[in-house]
């Protein structure tokens, strides 16, 4: 069995054995879903406005070992959570959360916390049932994720949902395209769990390929995979093996209550779009910034309030950074690509006004580390980690520098991190698949 990069062959065999004990079968019959986490170097906070975003997967993620149960029953255990999950695929699944929450979103938040373990498996069944797929056989499985990366801004929830979808589809001999599974995972998140996120995360996890930058137009759903060119015969290319991805963790696992929420920023972007569309005679269009032309924005941006002007500036400048970043990536110019990533991080702070003091301090620390091409928050910057692109030759030195400097700035948060995992050195990888 070919190891996916974050687990050794021995660890995969141990996972197979865990499932074999649960199912009372030979461990060689166990298949494994490899569902990686994703990073988004460019395209921060513009997917909900129909912007173009970039993404790639890393060699960390979720592993789900499974075998067919031989009947309609599902039995699951977890490496991170206690207890077992049991249900039947014959049960018709209903949405876990209603979108009709109170004005503070309390029910939605409560549901999301309670859904982190077993409900994603039921959500996968819901999505397949909702789409007319015939599911008659359950699975016996054991799921585990890369240690310490939950609540880190790497889309572990999407990786879990996709893992269950692939396991149920494989067991029931259902052939599904990645594009179809993007929609199925959207059903898990939006309909079953009642979350208001887009399709960036599942798209990145399902479509990405090692060595490529995945770009998706969130308005048209069109996407491209652009490889980093090889070094041979091109002296301007830095080479596709000369960089690593750093993940530096803040120690924050929950968003600070003093920070403005995600939904407020979305609302402000829509309000900016409404003002601009009305100014240029397109008031009947859906209030999304992707429906405003760049020239129209330049002409009418003075009509925006100061706050809305900052949101619009982030959207249009970030869209441009994605385009420029794709050009730099395709030419192998990692320094230029990294500079754009850092500019994205700065715009997230100054124009989108997200983040919190520990994450901003971590971002600024990373930029001072040796060999860093560029850095930004992974996620909104209210918790979790920052991502960075770094020269492979300086990755270990940069990691040591970041840990030492951040510990001096935030000793209490840093004390909650393991020295081995406070800063991870990662490689980019392939998208979700079934092995074994």
Give CA–CA dist 248/398, Å, rounded. Answer: 10
- Which of helix, strand or coil describes residue 433? strand
- Which of helix, strand or coil describes residue 225? strand
Helix 178-186 to helix 119-130 angle (10° resolution) is 120
Residue 113 has pLDDT above 60, yes or no: no
Residue 227 CA, chain-centre distance (Å), reads: 20
Domain 9-221+431-435, second-level architecture: 2-Layer Sandwich (3.30)
Q: What is the pTM of this model?
A: 0.85
Residue 117 has pLDDT above 90, yes or no: no
Percent of the chain with pLDDT over 90: 69
Average pLDDT taken over every residue of the chain: 88
pLDDT digits (tens, 9 = 90+) for 340-382: 999 999 999 999 998 889 999 999 999 999 999 999 998 766 6
Percent of the chain with pLDDT over 70: 87
pLDDT digits (tens, 9 = 90+) for 11-55: 899 999 999 999 999 999 999 999 999 999 999 999 889 999 999
Domain ranges of the chain: 9-221+431-435
Contact predicate 52/326, CB 8 Å: no
Give CA–CA dist 209/179, Å, rounded. Answer: 15
Residue 347 CA, chain-centre distance (Å), reads: 20
Phi-psi region of 30 (alpha: psi -120 to 50; beta: other; left: phi over 0): beta
Residue 308 has pLDDT above 90, yes or no: yes
**Predicted confidence band of residue 107 (pLDDT cuts 50, 70, 90):** very low
Q: Which two tokens stand for residue 17?
A: 């054995």
Place of tokens 């405003």: 292
According to DSSP, residue 174 is labeled -
* Length of the chain, in residues: 436
What residues act catalytically? Answer: 201
């Amino acid at each position: 069995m070919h190891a996916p990069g974050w687990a050794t062959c021995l660890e995969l065999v141990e996972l197979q054995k865990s499932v074999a004990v649960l199912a009372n079968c030979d461990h060689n019959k166990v298949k494994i879903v490899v569902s990686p986490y994703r990073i988004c170097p460019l395209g921060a906070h513009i997917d909900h406005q129909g912007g173009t975003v970039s993404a790639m997967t890393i060699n960390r993620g979720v592993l789900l070992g499974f075998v067919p149960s031989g009947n309609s029953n599902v039995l699951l255990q977890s490496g991170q959570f206690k207890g077992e999950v049991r249900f039947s695929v014959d049960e018709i699944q209903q949405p876990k959360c209603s979108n009709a929450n109170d004005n503070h979103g309390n029910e939605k938040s409560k549901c999301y916390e309670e859904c982190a373990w077993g409900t994603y498996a039921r959500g996968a069944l819901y999505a397949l049932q909702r789409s007319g797929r015939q599911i008659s056989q359950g699975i016996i499985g054991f799921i585990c994720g890369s240690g310490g990366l939950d609540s880190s801004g790497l889309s572990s929830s999407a990786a879990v949902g996709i893992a269950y979808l692939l396991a149920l589809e494989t067991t029931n001999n259902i052939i599904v395209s990645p594009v179809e599974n993007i929609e199925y995972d959207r059903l898990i998140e939006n309909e079953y769990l009642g979350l208001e996120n887009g399709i960036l995360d599942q798209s990145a996890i399902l479509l990405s390929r090692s060595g490529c930058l995945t770009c998706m137009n969130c308005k048209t759903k069109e996407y491209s995979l652009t490889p980093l060119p090889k070094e041979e015969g091109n002296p301007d290319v830095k080479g596709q093996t000369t960089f690593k991805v750093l993940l530096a963790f803040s120690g924050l696992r929950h968003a600070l209550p003093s920070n403005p929420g995600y939904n407020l920023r979305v609302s402000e972007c829509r309000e900016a779009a409404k003002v601009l569309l009305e100014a240029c005679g397109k008031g009947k269009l859906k209030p999304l910034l992707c429906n405003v032309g760049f020239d129209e924005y330049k002409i009418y941006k003075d009509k925006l309030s100061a706050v809305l002007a900052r949101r619009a500036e982030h959207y249009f400048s970030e869209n441009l950074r994605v385009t420029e970043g794709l050009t730099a990536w395709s030419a192998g110019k990692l320094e230029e690509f990294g500079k754009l990533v850092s500019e994205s991080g700065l715009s997230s702070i100054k124009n989108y006004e997200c983040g919190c003091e520990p994450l901003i301090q971590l971002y600024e620390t990373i930029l001072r580390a040796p060999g860093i091409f560029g850095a930004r928050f992974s996620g909104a910057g209210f918790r979790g980690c920052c991502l960075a692109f770094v020269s492979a030759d300086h990755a270990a030195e940069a990691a040591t520098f970041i840990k030492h400097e951040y510990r001096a700035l935030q000793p209490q948060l840093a004390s909650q991190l393991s020295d081995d995992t406070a800063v991870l050195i990662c490689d980019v990888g392939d998208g979700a698949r079934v092995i074994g």
